[in-house]
Amino acid sequence: MRLFLDTANIEQIKEAVELGVISGVTTNPTLVAKEGKDFFTLIKEISSIVPGPVSAEVIGLTAPEMIAEAKKLVQLGNNIVVKIPMIKEGLKAVSALSKEGIKTNVTLIFSANQALLAARAGAAYVSPFVGRHDELGVHGMDLVADIVQIFDIHGFTTEVIAAAMRNPLHTVEAAKAGAHIATINHAILMQMISHPMTQIGLEKFLADWESVQKR
């Protein structure tokens, strides 16, 4: 399973790329707004530092608006993937863009039917939102597993990005569910690295080594 970083923060992205474990980045209007920077400038900078797909979301709500925005966004870098919301107009935009070879990531997916339609329309990626389902008392990862199963059975090449991840356990669950990608925020990435027993063990190794050196 590949890992994408779910942020528009340049410093977090640079740190994650340096770790060598991140294959792409996903952004959304909320994440971009947090940075307080010009949208196109920010996406262009992210595109230049990430060795993989960078998802940038359209704002328009009609297919013509989405298509026009998409064509501007893909000019920012050859790794730009256009994020399209799972609405009727979004499907029209995905269908048109896929015919022009523009990769799309259909977002705000909350049902297997939505994912199926997005794949049929030609989406390169679908993003089922795990955490927001969990917050409703529904096991969000079940949706990821269902979509993966449907895509596997029917040979869809559309990739499943487990999104709206809330903790490092979600990453394990997404991997077990067969998600192609999990998009995680910086905090989850840091939590995935650390374990208290690792720190305790390292300190013991070093203490034992030091005790011998002092003999």
Q: Which residues, numbered 109-168, are part of the site for ligand E4P (CB under 6 A)?
A: 127, 129, 131-132, 163-164
Please say which residue, 21 or 202, places its beta carbon nearer to ligand E4P: 21
* 39 lies in the site for ligand E4P, by CB under 6 A: no
Which strand (E) or helix (H) includes residue 61? none
- Six token digits for residue 68: 């026009």
Q: How far is the CB of 197 from ligand E4P (least distance, A)?
A: 29
Reference 124, options 94, 79, 163, 164; nearest CA is 94
The closest of 52, 58, 10 to 34, measured between CA atoms, is 10
Q: What is the smallest separation between the CB atom of 81 and ligand E4P, expressed in angstroms?
A: 10
Residue with tokens 């013509």: 64
The label of the residue with tokens 């107009």 reads 89
Q: Is 83 a catalytic residue?
A: yes
Residue with the shortest CB distance to ligand E4P: 164
CB-based contacts of 176: which residues, under 8 Å, 6+ apart? none
The 10 Å CB-count burial string (b at 16+, else e) for 16-51 is bbeeeebbbbbbbeebbeeeeeebeebbbbbbeebe
Stretch that binds ligand E4P, among 7-15, 23-31, 36-44, 111-119 (CB under 6 A): 23-31
Determine, following the binding rule CB under 6 A, whether residue 79 of this chain makes contact with ligand E4P.
no
Please, which of residues 183-202 interact with ligand E4P by CB under 6 A?
183
Q: Active site residue: 83, 176, 204, 214, which one?
A: 83
Q: Report if residue 28 touches ligand E4P, rule: CB under 6 A.
A: yes
Task: List residues binding ligand E4P (CB under 6 A).
Answer: 6, 26, 28, 30, 107, 127, 129, 131-132, 163-164, 183
